[in-house]
Each structure stands twice: as C-alpha cells, then as structure tokens.
Chain A
Amino acid sequence: MSRDCRHCDGLSRSRFLHRAAAEAGRGLPAIEQGMPLPAGSGLSRRSFLAHGLGAALSVYGASRLGLGALEAGIAAAAGSPSAPVLVSVFLEGGADGLSVLSPQGDPLYRKLRPKLAIAGGTALREDDRLHWHPALGGLAQLYGEGKVTVMPAIGYTNADQSHFTSRHYWEVGATSTSLQTGWLGRYLDAVGTGDNPLQGLSLDDTLAPALATARVPVASLAGPDQYDFWSSNVWGEVEQRMLEGIGRLGAAQSDPALANAAFVSAQVDRLRTQLLPFQPADDGTPAYTSPVAYPQSADSDFPKKLAGLAAMLAAGLPLRAVALSAPGEYDTHSAQPAALSSGLKLTGDSLLAFQRDLEARGLADRVLVHVWSEFGRRAQENGSQGTDHGAAGTSFLVGSRVTGTMLGEFPGLRSGLDEDGNLRATSDFRAVYCSLLEQWLGVDAGRVIPQAGSFQRPKLIA
C-alpha cells in the first residue's frame, strides 16, 4: 500500500527494513522447518535455523566491551532486584483515533464519516460519546478492570503530518529533528549499565529508534528465521565450519578499522552460539511454556513475541525498556475498515493475553505497556474509503498499576478540530513521558526530556 502512496514514502523506511530481512532468504535453498535437509549434511541446524525467541541478539553500542563482559553483565544484572519494565508498542502508520475510539455520540461523526463511521463496540464509562472499536474487545475488557488509561486526543501543538518526522518526535521525546538518541535510550543512559545490552531490547529486526542510546549498549532480537548466515551451495558440516569461520575472522587486528570489523565478526559468532540455550525443539516447540493461550496468527509474530517477552521476564532477564511494533496496517488512505479491524483485533487480543500471562506469573506489578502511534487521522474521510494524515491520535497505557483514569478529554468534532480539520491534542506525549519517567521508571524527567520543566505531570500510576 505504501509503495503506491505518494504521501507515504516516509513509511517505507522502516517497513522496507522489515521486508529486507524477510526477503533475505528468497532464492536460497529451501531449507525450512519440516523440509528435508540437503543430502550429505546429517547435522542439526540448531544454531542457524532458529525459531521463536532468541533467534538472534544484535548488540548495539557496546564496541568497547568484549562479549564476555556483556554476558557477565547480563548474568549479574539478572541477579539484582527487579527494575520496572516499560514495553512500547508502536502502531506504525498513524492509527485512526476516530475509529479506535469512535465518537459515536458526537453528532458530527456520521457527517464527517458517512462511509467509515464505526458502529457498535462498548462505550467508555468516562465518556459515553466514545466507543471502543469492536475489534478491540481485549482492551475494552482490561479497561473495564481499570487496567487501561485512555488518552483520546494525544499529540503536540503544530502537529507535523509526516510519518517520519512525527514518529521521530515521539521516538526522541521532543519536537526536534536533530536529536539522535531515543527518549528510552536516554533513560537507559541515565540508569543503565555498560555491560547489559538486554536493558533496552528491540523485539524487531532492527533497533527501535526510541531505544537508541549514547552511552550504554542495547540490543535487538530478530524474529524467527531471520538471523541466518547461509551461503549458496554450502551445507552440512561445511556450513557449520563456515559459520565457525566467522568467529575465526574475529581474531585480533592492530589496525583500528580492521579491529572493528574483526570485533563485530566475533560478536556475530559469539551471539549465535550464546543463544543456543534458547533454541526451540526440532519440531519448533518453544523452549518455554506460557500459562495462557495467545492468539494464533499466520501473518504476525506479535503474539509470539509477547509470549516470549513474558517468558524472558519470568526467567529473570534484566530488561528495563522493550520496544516492538504492533501488527496491522494503520496508514489507511484507502480500504480502511478491513485493514484496521484485523490489526486492531490481533493487537488487542495479544495485549490481553500478555496481561493475563504476567498476572499468572506474578509479574503484572512490574510491567507497563505503552501503546502509541505517530499521529491520528483527518476527521473527514477521503473519497477512497480511507482517511488522510491528521494530528492528535489515541494512546493507551496498559497494566495492573495504571490509574485507569482518562488523560485529556475528547475535544469533540465541532470545536475540537484545527483549521486543517484535524483533532486538536488535549494531552501532550512529552508530559506522558515525563510522568512515566518519574512515576514508573523512577528517574528525574529533566535528565531525559528536553525542557521537561515545561510539561505537566499527569498522575499515571495508582
């Protein structure tokens, strides 16, 4: 969809990196789970046919440390008292807030959305104009239990309608195009250690920009099947030796650039072998069990990632900030209804399962989920069963410890739209970050968010 949309090249950047990883296997020997290995191999492919969690750990920003130190740091941190965990879930593309929480009680809603107005779904007890999208039954259920804080019109003044720019603002925690570290990265720089890359974990192919640090290492875990090092016409024992050869290329070098390349070769090799204990069984069964059932999806690893995340927390891995992208297509310039429903359903049902999982494991008081999107969409629908880029959108905090009290009112469609017909923000994402930092993560927001003093501190934690 985004490739055909002149306005949405900004989406392609990260989208394309995801696809790149998926396409890396295209045209290679068809060696997948359940398919026969090539003749003559006879070797387990455990080290590079990874499924489920721990397929690959990529460490960022730790070039001065050897892997041994990183492993030791992870082990040491795992034994220390538990830190609070913030999980950032990104709805990429600009989710339509007026469908996520449809203002069915606003008399202008059906006029602005003659084709796309949502019907049904449960009304919010705090504002009965607003209804949960029918596909978001999972979040509605948690909301009923007081475990969801709703922000019905969040953003910032003078909203930028570029995916790239607005997303960047949210990622860096400031309306600045020049900041190169993420807001969670700066939090980790303030409280993290130099030897624990798992403190900031991106559950995607590449590092989530919100986690980009200046001082301490962070990591990304690629999805299943994605950390592979195949070579055409090399298999079996020779392939195993070749993979070991990557480590051999990591031998010490005196030239700094050669040393850098060699060091990263060694990292690649060590990480590959380090993760062997996480390997699933040969039939693909994960190395962990979940106490609850997660949604099944052929299209998205999102539920699997959350299940794995709960298992990692239960195993005592020293995580502090985690980021991942929600499933679904949110840049809905056309054919909005179907695209939105399926993504929202899988997202909401998975978050419900994750919360239940944490509760069953006794971890629910340690974990808070922040759901966000770079902007909302235009109030007036367009001519192709879709909506264009807007301003304020919706965001949620999910967890046992949230207040469950709506933050910022829904401004209404008569007086709540700006001159471009976009929803005005009634809460500021930077204020939410400041409160999360101080009330949940326990660090002075002034160390992390530029001009933190100029933002309110809404009460977010009960």
Chain B
Amino acid sequence: MPGVAAYRGTFSAAQAERLLWRAGFGPRAGEAEALAALGLEGAVHALTNPGPEKLVGPKPHDEKGLPLAPYDAWGHDHCWWLDRMVRTSRPLVERMALVWHDWFATSNDGVSSQRLMLRQNQLFRDHGLGSFHDLLERVTADPAMLLWLNGSDNSKWSPNENYAREMMELFTLGAGRGYGERDVRQQARALTGFRNDWRNTVGPTNFRYDPGYHDTGVKTIFGHRGAYTWKGSVRLCVTHRDHASFLVRKLWSYFVPTAPDAATQGALERLYRHDGHALKPVVAAILRHPALYEGPRMVKSPVLYTAGLLRRIGRGVDTTSWTWLDAMAGQQLFRPPNVGGWDDTRWLDTATWRGRWWIAQYVLRPYSLDPGTSEQPFDAQALLAGALDFWRNPALGDTTHGALLAFAKAALADAGTTGWKRKEYAVMTHNALRHLIAVSPELQAA
C-alpha cells in the first residue's frame, strides 16, 4: 500500500525550527541547529523517542521565590505546566499532552480539583504517544473526566448521556458521523458503573468501577448487540468505520494548518489502522510530511507564544503572572472554554492581541534598559541589530524588518540635536524595538 509522502527538501536550521514549533514549544539557543544536524529522519526520531525526561534550566517559583503549589494555589497549575513546556527535554511529549488536553477538553471549572486535573495531565504525558484505544480507555475512567462529563453520575438507575455523546461527537467520530440518538442512549447504558464518594474537606474521592451500578442488560450500539460494558463502548468507537478518518483529520490539524490531501488522508488512516491504533507512527508521519515544511505558517497559541519567548531567552517561570496573562490572550491551561476545546482558528483579535502585548511586556520587563543609566548607539540599524540579537536573531521578513527600521528612524529623528534626548531616546528605542519584535507577525506565527 502506498505510504505517506515525506519531505525531501533542505533540512536546515529554518526547517528544524519550524519542526520545533509544531512538535514542541520553539527552540532554545542552539537547538534548531542541533536538530538540523540530525537530518529530518533523525530529528523526527529524536522527538518521538526522547528517552527519560530531563528538566533543563532554573526551577519554577512564584514572585516571592516560593515553590509553586500546583495542587492548591489558584493559577499555579497553569504555571506548573508552562514550566514543563519551558524546561522539558521531551518537547513532543508535552506538546502531545497539550493536544490531548484540547481534544479531551476537561475544565477545572467543572472538576474543581487541581489535583485531579494534574492527574489527568500526567495521563496525557505518559500515554499521549501510545495507542489511542488505550488512551481512550484511560480517559474514560479518569476521575477528572468522570466528574467533567458526569461519568460517575451515570448509573443503571439514572443514566447520564453526557460522556457517551461527547465520546462519539468530539473524541472519536465527529458530530453526526455514523451514530444516532439511539446509540447515545445505548452507549450511556454501557458506560454505567463508575462511582465516587464525596468527603467534606476532600471533595470527590474514591473513584471506582462498581459492577453493582452497571446496567448489565443487552445494548444495541452501531447495530451490534451485546451486554457491553465501558470497555466494549470504547472498543466500538475505536473500531467504528468512521473513527480513523476523524482521528487522522483532527490530529493532523494540530500540526499542519491546511487539510491533508486525499492520498495523505488515506495513507495515514491505513497507517493508523494497521498499527493497531498506535499514535506514534501517525504523528511521526505527519512530522515528516512535506506540507509541514512547505505549507503556510500557523498562529501560535498563547501558551506556545509564552513558552516560546521564555525558551528563546532562557528565562524560567519566576512569576505566576503567566496564568492571567495567557488567559487575557485566550488560553488558560486546565480551563478550556468548553468540552470542544479551544478554537485554534481564532486566537487573534484586538483583545487577545493586547494580551500578547502584555505577555511580551512581562517577558521583557526584567531586562529593560534604564534610559538614565544605559548607553545605546544613536543609529537605527545598529539598534535594530541589537534588539534582534536580544531575541537570538529570529528570521523576520522584509516587511517587518522595514517597519521596525522605520519606527527606529522616526523615534531617533524626534530627538533632534538635544543631547539628553539623543542619549535617552536611543535606549528607549532599543527597548521598544525588543517589544515590537516580540509582537511582530513572524513571532506570532511559525
């Protein structure tokens, strides 16, 4: 059977950088060059087989220097994960965890337990490149998901269809593809049996499967009859004829902004089915595909934008402001807007753009130069070169380069011949250039 097309062009630092944005959180200093040296095959292999995790860089802390309290303190969950994105030696593993967080979008708005949210997060980290069948089983029995979509409210006496519906509509098949309302009701029956207790001061606890709560009767699902349990329910979804096409299309969309052509779609579906619903080969094939390297850019999500800026300059998570800043920009981790996840086609508007301006401001603030005491050259070209160097020389197009240079020239011209202005305006222009570079189109999309 025909395989999936692979990119055959030059694989230099530019291509490696794009791969690091799509399969991770952007390059740290020297990383793109190191990855390029492995060649495309080697690079994809390294990303998909990263070995044990090493966290590189300064440990995270809050603004008082205290360790994060991700289970307890509001917003620390977001920063805890952001730190993993910034410091990890396994960027694709963290990136896949983010994919699954969006795919099985569970919000602490409904779970009300950061501990359970982080437990689900670890599930995505541990199993995100394994088998989708296995992943879906684990998600179905995951406490945060059981709370979020009422899985533990679903009993033989009082069926709750919430999870059954979303499992098919959002997780495995797509809205209205190959199932009907009857299947929703029957799936809900099959999924009965999960329970949990509630204890004061602890909240939901003791999540378990209780056969006494399970509806043992015969169900008819997708035309199959059987006394299905939750495992049967999951299996029926994953083996449904419309599942592979749904999974491939959705998974692809996280890495490449344009839809796969029919040949690619078909080849990826065959690969997925052939390997028993293994995810790693499919992800690896997408990461090797020409469309990733030759196609258009993707707008970075707010968290990717933030993690990317921090990685670029080697700064760790040393404030919890990233939580509200990323929310301003439209993406607070563990709080997707609803079970459908974030809308990856609509990250930017004039409100969220302003959130990104503030993210850049908070990234830059510790490094900003004091116009009263610092020195910078009174030369627009030199100032721009210096500000680009601060960001480790990201590649900017001529349009953006020209816009930045025009700003710098105009700002310096305002100083005229006044001595103190010439000194201070040069420093301020340098600061402003750093900021404008950070919000330029090239740094918002990769």
Chain A residues in the interface with B (C-beta under 8 A):
3, 6-7, 9-10, 12-13, 16-17, 19-21, 23-24, 27, 40, 56-61, 63, 162, 164-165, 168, 177-178, 180, 205-207, 220, 222, 227, 229-239, 241-242, 244-246, 248-249, 251-253, 255-262, 264-265, 267-268, 271
Contact = CB atoms under 8 A, between A and B. Distances in A.
A260 B445 contact: yes
Nearest to A168: B338
Given A177-B339, A232-B361, A21 B435 contact: no
Contacts of B290: none
A249 B439 contact: yes
A257 B110 contact: no
B340 interface: yes
Contact of A258 (B338, B368, B397, B425): B397
Contacts of A259: 441
B327 A20 contact: yes
A165 B147 CA distance: 13
B296 A19 contact: no
Contacts of B368: 231-233
Interface of A is mostly: helix
Contact of B436 (A20, A249, A260, A267): A249
A63 B74 CA distance: 34
Contacts, number: 191
A268 B354 contact: yes
Contacts of A235: 428
Interface in B307-352: 321, 324-325, 327-328, 332, 335, 338-340, 348-351
Interface stretch (B48-56, B79-87, B127-135, B406-414): B406-414
Q: Which of B351, B400, B404 has the most CB of A within 10 A?
A: B351
A258 B348 contact: no
B404 A233 contact: no
A205 B328 CA distance: 9
9 contacts: A9-B112, A10-B110, A16-B327, A60-B349, A168-B338, A206-B351, A227-B354, A262-B399, A271-B350
Contact of B299 (A7, A9, A162, A261): A261
Given A19-B324, A244-B407, A178 B358 contact: no
Contacts of A253: 397, 399, 441
Contacts of A58: 349-351, 354
A10 B109 contact: yes
Contact of B297 (A205, A220, A258, A268): A258
B109 A9 contact: yes
Contacts of A265: 353, 439, 441
B445 A231 contact: no
A40 B135 CA distance: 61
Contacts of B126: none
A276 to B, nearest CB: 16
B441 A262 contact: yes
Interface string B279-319: 00000000000000000111100000000000000000000
